Structure 1
Amino acid sequence: MNAPAGRVDGDVAVYRRQFLNRSETFVRDHLVFLDRWRPTALTSWRQADGLEVPGVPVVEAREGDVRRKVLDRLPQRIAGTHDGRQERRLRSALRRLRPDVVHAHFGTDAAVVAPVARELGIPFVITWHGYDATVHDEVLAQSESGRTLLARREELLRDAAGTIAVSGPIARELERHGATPGSIDVIACGVDTQAVAGTPPPPDGGLLFVGRLVEKKGLGDLLDALSGLAAPPPLTVIGDGPLRARMESRAQAAGLDVRFLGVRGSDEVREQMRAAQAVVIPSRRATNGDCEGLPVVSLEAGACARPVVAYAHSGLVESVLDGTTGLLAQEGDVAGLATAIEKVSQDADLREALGRAGRDHVVRSFDIRVTTARIEAVYDRARS
């Protein structure tokens, strides 16, 4: 973790526009587990209550408070667009840092920092996570960051020194947008399997759902599936979002045993996983096109040796091997989801076998050390 003294192969500035949302543990872990490359976190603004990244310097490219307040009051034609102002600040920060490579998480962030990196002669790498590759263009056009991405997407896909997609389905979406087939590295966000012990699922404990309460996470489908069972198992929901009140009302109206815990830290999520029999991930494409890339919670469940019940959606078909590490229903098939939940809930031997295979699969293919080494190989090629 964090390039040892005397073994630094390069310096990388990892850009995230807002640093760092508490749900974005995958960015934190990417920074912390880099081995041969020395990271600096680069951001346009830092959250006061965001995730900490031990041992990694954070550079905030921002305007002074007085200048920002003055510019905010001026017409856009004078002050410049928000993204344009960010570019000016990033240009100054990158001139000071002079990294060997710039790596942006999310296409929307790359659309701001990549042109600056190109201007300064610094190769750039982009990781596309999901919505940035799948949301409909007409929806992207409704926000400034989306319009910037639309205007620059073709050149980002053409000029990036490295293009990473977190799953095969996201890579195919990028090819649909013009990326050269075969030019994309598919590298999922890994998890630290050494920090988690795989244990057999308990005889009781019910189901666990972890995720933002938004349309694509599919909690409504899960509640409908449970409502169709004669004896639905209890469900614990970790996460918050705009649909929480509606989901709580639906669960109560259906007479389901559901606990809504809100947002919880990584340690408590792991505790809840250890207490659960299975993790359910009913993610599906939202009406605006938003899709998952590869839900990290599916990897965390596997690391804990918990079977996953999910829809066969996007990267879940890669993290969950149907019939081997979990059970997959066709996306949107609520009855099929209910059948899979019932099967796992009623068969302790099946739960244990799926969980054991799930841990083996995640350790072999998705451990953070494996995925980070692959990212560093992209950096090596980008600099050469």
Structure 2
Amino acid sequence: MHRIAHIKTTYLELSETFIYQFLTSFKNTENFVIAEQLKNLDVFPFKNKVLLDPYTRKDFVNSAISRLLSPRHKGFERRIELAIDKVKPDLLHAHFGPVGVYTLPIAKRHHLPLIISFYGYDTSYAGVLRTIPTPRKLLPFGLNNYWKKAYSELFKEVSAIVTFGEVMRETLIDLGAPADIVFDIHSGINLNQRKFSPRLIDKDKPIEILMVNRLVDKKGTEIALRAVSTLCTQYPNISLKIVGGGPLEVHLKDTAADLGIEDHVEFLGFKKYPEVIEMMKTAHVFLSPSIKVQDDEEGGINTTVIDALSLGLPTIATTESGSQLILDHSTGLMAEIGSSEDLAEKIKYLIENPASAQQMAIEGRALIERDFDQEKQTEKLEDLYDHILTPPSSS
């Protein structure tokens, strides 16, 4: 059985359930997590974990010097190598592009194949610069070239790249990744544990709208607030529940107050994944009105949309969040990006056409069963591991 080491700086953020779903679904490989930090272990229990040794003063000095000219992280490399000596993996799987960059020198020294999963922000150089601390004063090159050079080398050396959608795959190919090593393998849902529960919307009863996302510009939360504000008079029983936190929380609460809809909106903060699923079971409409924000990508697929569709929750998304998921008026509704007016019209359509909403929920579940079944997606990833680790035939 092949041994796979998953390299992740933090195991595991609450928003990264898609990684946990893969880790807990493997059947034909032995998997280990190597991380700098362990958190949320009550939510994401996993047996085979290796915590990196603490940084030494020498690590800080070596990393600071090496990172002036290129994204080399020698302190990280030293500590990862110690963990690899313990795990003795057959293959390294780095999660997020920059982690792949830092892991590449180790893979080359140990002659280990390297796979990298990209998830969104890491598909643009400016997105990486905004997220990863990068020396700015002593760079002999432009900031974009700092990571461009690193990605260029990465694309030449890496064994395979995994993305969560066709949009993200095309983005990486445009950045220079060879098309024949970029594989679109979706996050999946354990359908055996996910009961389909369609619900009928009754406009004369409470109507609960749900959003689950970071409170950042990209997610379009303010657009949802403005859409709901135009519907409250016609549907006084409507409510919007927002799960998640982020830098825009105060602004969004102020916006709700300015719109006069405080009594119709609840900001619930971060919730654990099982709690989110329970909320989806009782909600009537799910919103994912993501907008286009330069250098803040999510690859056209929001994993919460996958969750909502799997449960039979009527869903409204945009091409930024529902690509490959929402077929307009078939598996859900597509809203115009950035338009609160159009989003309000889409919400109204679901309220006024409950039978149509229910039929879309049925079609949405069928799509998830066909394209986003966790067992099938995990099998694809293990097949990729096996393909890379199987020596070519001599015949």
Distance 1:270 1:76, change over 3 A: closer
Find the counterpart in structure 2 of residue 172 from structure 1: 170
Deviation at 1:84, TM superposition (A): 2.1
1:144 match: secondary structure: coil
Deviation at 1:312, TM superposition (A): 1.6
Q: d(CA) in 2 for partners of 1:45 and 1:182?
A: 34
- 1:22 touches 1:51 (CA, 8 Å); kept in 2? no
Deviates most, 197-206 or 302-311 = 197-206
In the TM superposition, what whole-angstrom CA distance separates every residue of 1:60-106 from its partner, at most 9, and x where no partner exists? 12226xx35x7659994499999321111112211332211111111
Q: d(CA) in 1 for partners of 2:67 and 2:123?
A: 30
Q: d(CA) in 2 for partners of 1:95 and 1:372?
A: 26
1:335 pairs with one of 321, 338, 341: 341
Find the counterpart in structure 2 of residue 61 from structure 1: 52
In the TM superposition, what whole-angstrom CA distance separates every residue of 1:3-46 from its partner, at most 9, and x where no partner exists? xxxxx3x1100111111112111111111111111100111222
Pairwise CA RMSD: 2.6
Find the counterpart in structure 1 of residue 113 from structure 2: 123
Distance 1:75 1:286, change over 3 A: closer
In the TM superposition, what whole-angstrom CA distance separates every residue of 1:267-318 from its partner, at most 9, and x where no partner exists? 211121111111100112224x20113211011001111121011216x220
Q: d(CA) in 1 for partners of 2:284 and 2:132?
A: 42
Q: d(CA) in 1 for partners of 2:254 and 2:362?
A: 36
One-letter code of the match for 2:257?
Q
In the TM superposition, what whole-angstrom CA distance separates every residue of 1:217-245 from its partner, at most 9, and x where no partner exists? 11011112223335363111111111111
Find the counterpart in structure 2 of residue 84 from structure 1: 74
Find the counterpart in structure 1 of residue 7 from structure 2: 15
Q: d(CA) in 1 for partners of 2:26 and 2:228?
A: 42
Q: d(CA) in 1 for partners of 2:207 and 2:108?
A: 52
1:99 pairs with one of 89, 102, 105: 89
1:187 pairs with one of 181, 185, 188: 185
- 2:186 touches 2:372 (CA, 8 Å); kept in 1? yes
Alignment of 1:236 with 2:226, yes or no, is: no
Find the counterpart in structure 1 of residue 31 from structure 2: 39
Alignment of 1:260 with 2:267, yes or no, is: yes
Deviation at 1:332, TM superposition (A): 2.0
- 2:121 touches 2:127 (CA, 8 Å); kept in 1? no
In the TM superposition, what whole-angstrom CA distance separates every residue of 1:92-124 from its partner, at most 9, and x where no partner exists? 211332211111111121111122112211101
2:179 match: secondary structure: coil
Find the counterpart in structure 1 of residue 393 from structure 2: none
Structure 2 unaligned blocks of 5 or more: 136-142, 391-395
Q: d(CA) in 2 for partners of 1:225 and 1:123?
A: 49
Using the aligned pairs only, state the percent identity.
25
How many equivalent residue pairs? 370
1:227 pairs with one of 229, 233, 237: 229
2:215 pairs with one of 213, 216, 232: 213
One-letter code of the match for 2:52?
A
1:261 match: secondary structure: strand
Structure 1 unaligned blocks of 5 or more: 1-7
1:234 match: secondary structure: strand
Find the counterpart in structure 2 of residue 143 from structure 1: 133
Alignment of 1:270 with 2:283, yes or no, is: no
Deviation at 1:345, TM superposition (A): 2.1
Deviates most, 265-274 or 71-80 = 71-80
Find the counterpart in structure 1 of residue 139 from structure 2: none
Deviation at 1:182, TM superposition (A): 4.2
Q: d(CA) in 2 for partners of 1:245 and 1:110?
A: 35
Find the counterpart in structure 2 of residue 5 from structure 1: none
Find the counterpart in structure 1 of residue 315 from structure 2: 308
Q: d(CA) in 2 for partners of 1:15 and 1:59?
A: 10
1:28 match: secondary structure: helix
Equivalence map 1:282-361=2 (5 Å): 282-287=289-294, 289-293=295-299, 294-313=301-320, 316-361=322-367
- 2:8 touches 2:36 (CA, 8 Å); kept in 1? yes
Q: d(CA) in 1 for partners of 2:112 and 2:61?
A: 34
